[in-house]
Amino acid sequence: MSQNLEQIRSREWFYTFELPGGEKTRTYHGGSLDAIHETRWAMLRDWLRQRFQGDLGDLRVLDLASHQGFFSIRMAQMGFGEVIGVEARGQHVEDSSLIAAALGMDQVSFRQGDIHDIDAGELGQFDVVLMLGLLYHLENPVGALRTCRALCRNACLVETQIVPGMTGQVDFGSYEFVRPLKGTFGIIDETEETHGPETSITGICLVPSLDGLLWIMDKVGFEQPAVLPPPPDAYEQLRHGKRVMVSATV
Ligand SMILES: C[S@@+](CC[C@H](N)C(=O)[O-])C[C@H]1O[C@@H](n2cnc3c(N)ncnc32)[C@H](O)[C@@H]1O
């Protein structure tokens, strides 16, 4: 345990973790990103408190793109009985496992995996599926949302950047066959940044518009996808609607 703490203290982290005794990890952004993490945590915690009352010990959580385990650990601290984080980058899996061990949390585990390759049959289904900060780094966001649906047996929270949408009618093969646009995808290039700890692993990113995201979530089988209102003191991107947290149920 003390060896774990020494290792944790010796470096900087993406998240501010509270360690036993109240000590906090140092971050490599000097705390400037704490607000986005805390806003998202407050939004999802408040929504989950309304949806799940009483003992959470029998409930399973899946945290997709778990990074260093910030949300997985908060979910376990909230009382969820089993939390699994899946993360593409092996270094993050090691780091999150180290933090969980230092906090003595054996109900949380992490494994390496690409959301595009997840075998939903092998993992089983979860009461809560979190996909935070991932969708806009993916080249197959529709497939990822289908995976979320396959893995979910109660509630899902998707938090993502969105792009401005286009609306209108499209001549789909002929002026006699006109279809309405249901949403838009923006293409973002991260091909030069795939080495970064927070980025896409392939570099080709398709970012949805809000109407497109809600429409796709409905079509892959979620019920009542809805944007959670950000609190007045939310991180600016959430306050200005540049990113959203969407709740949905099955
Ligand atoms: C912006 S960070 C978000 C981390 C965390 N979920 C959060 O919201 O704070 C994006 C994370 O997605 C991971 N990632 C990128 N592509 C992935 C993929 N195809 N499958 C699983 N994880 C992926 C990255 O390694 C990184 O940890």
Per-residue pLDDT of the chain (250 residues; tens, 9 = 90+): 678 999 999 999 999 999 998 999 999 999 999 999 999 999 999 999 999 999 999 999 999 999 999 999 999 999 999 999 999 999 999 999 999 999 999 999 999 999 999 998 999 999 999 999 999 999 999 999 999 999 999 999 999 999 999 999 999 999 999 999 999 999 999 999 999 999 999 999 999 999 999 999 999 999 999 999 999 999 999 999 999 999 999 9
Q: What is the largest CA-CA distance in the chain?
A: 72
8 Å CB contact between 218 and 142: no
Q: Do the domain assignments include residue 185?
A: no
pTM of the full predicted structure? 0.97
Q: Residue 103: which of 77, 138, 136 has the closest Cα?
A: 77
8 Å CB contact between 82 and 62: no
Q: Do the domain assignments include residue 200?
A: no
* Residue recorded with tokens 């260093």: 68
Report how many domains make up the chain. 1
Q: What is the CATH number of the domain that holds 67?
A: 3.40.50.150
Mutation test residue for ligand 1: of 87, 99, 195, the one with most atoms within 8 Å of CB: 87
Q: Do the domain assignments include residue 166?
A: no
Separation of CA 171 and ligand 1 centre (Å): 37
Check pocket membership of 198 for ligand 1, CB cut-off 6 A: yes
Residues 138 and 122: their CA atoms lie apart, in Å, by 22
Ligand 1, atom 4: closest residue by C-alpha:
67
Residues 78 and 207: their CA atoms lie apart, in Å, by 31
Q: What is the residue range of 90's domain?
A: 2-161+226-249
Helical segments of the chain, H only: 2-9, 34-51, 70-78, 90-102, 120-123, 141-151, 210-219, 236-239
* CA geometry: angle 107, 110, 116, nearest 5 deg: 130
Q: Do the domain assignments include residue 32?
A: yes
Check pocket membership of 69 for ligand 1, CB cut-off 6 A: no
